[in-house]
């Protein structure tokens, strides 16, 4: 239980921008405003709504500000020039994620595992994608599969990791807690 399980570093990051990268850049609540007055509101890196100031639409900044306040978080505001040519808000989000300078190529979170009469399972604590809508999403672990292999499979399957680097034990009992550290799938 007390030994750390490790794998060597991945040699290349060749995957496209992932939702996790966009969430990291935008934060919990984000308002993007373009020079032409167009605005879009994002929650956890997901598009919520937009308004086009060039056509006289009412802005979404008040909605964004009040939503962030209701969620007890700050609102990240990003002002950008209007992109050249045809574009959509998804293009802007991807470009933001790609242009964000970061030396963080590893990510981590707490993972809980348990064995029940129905089988073994793992839960990712406080993760925007893997925790589930009600923070109670459990992933099954195959019989014969190690905890390390299961966590790595789930991270890769959901497009978050190149590989799992280590699974550090934190607590043992009816539930087992680990700190999972993985190489992120990012193109910068």
Query: What are the pLDDT digits (tens) for 145-167?
Result: 999 999 999 999 987 888 999 99
| Among the listed residues 77, 147, 70, the one whose alpha carbon sits nearest the alpha carbon of residue 113 | 147
CB-hemisphere CA count at 13 Å for 17?
19
Per-residue confidence (pLDDT) for residue 55, from 0 to 100: 65
Burial label for 97, CB within 10 Å (0-12, 13-18, 19+), is: buried
With cut-offs at 50, 70 and 90, classify the pLDDT of residue 187.
very low
d(C-alpha 51, C-alpha 4), whole Å: 50
Do residues 137 and 123 make contact, with C-beta atoms less than 8 angstroms apart? yes
């Amino acid at each position: 239980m007390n030994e750390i399980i490790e794998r060597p570093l991945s040699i290349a990051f060749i995957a496209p921008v992932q939702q996790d990268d966009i969430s990291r850049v935008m934060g919990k609540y984000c308002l993007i405003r373009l020079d032409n007055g167009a605005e879009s509101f994002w929650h956890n890196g997901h598009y919520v709504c937009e308004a086009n100031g060039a056509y006289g639409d009412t802005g979404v900044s008040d909605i964004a500000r009040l939503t962030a306040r209701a969620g007890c978080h700050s609102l990240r505001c990003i002002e950008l020039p209007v992109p050249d040519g045809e574009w959509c808000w998804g293009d802007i989000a991807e470009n933001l994620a790609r242009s964000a300078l970061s030396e963080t190529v590893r990510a981590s979170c707490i993972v809980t595992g348990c064995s029940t009469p129905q089988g073994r399972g793992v839960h990712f604590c406080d993760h925007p994608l893997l925790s589930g809508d009600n923070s109670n999403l459990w992933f099954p672990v195959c019989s014969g599969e190690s905890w390390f292999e299961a966590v790595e499979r789930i991270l890769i399957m959901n497009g978050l990791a190149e590989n799992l680097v280590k699974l550090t034990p934190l607590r043992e009992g009816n539930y087992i807690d680990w700190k999972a550290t993985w190489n992120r799938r990012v193109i910068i």
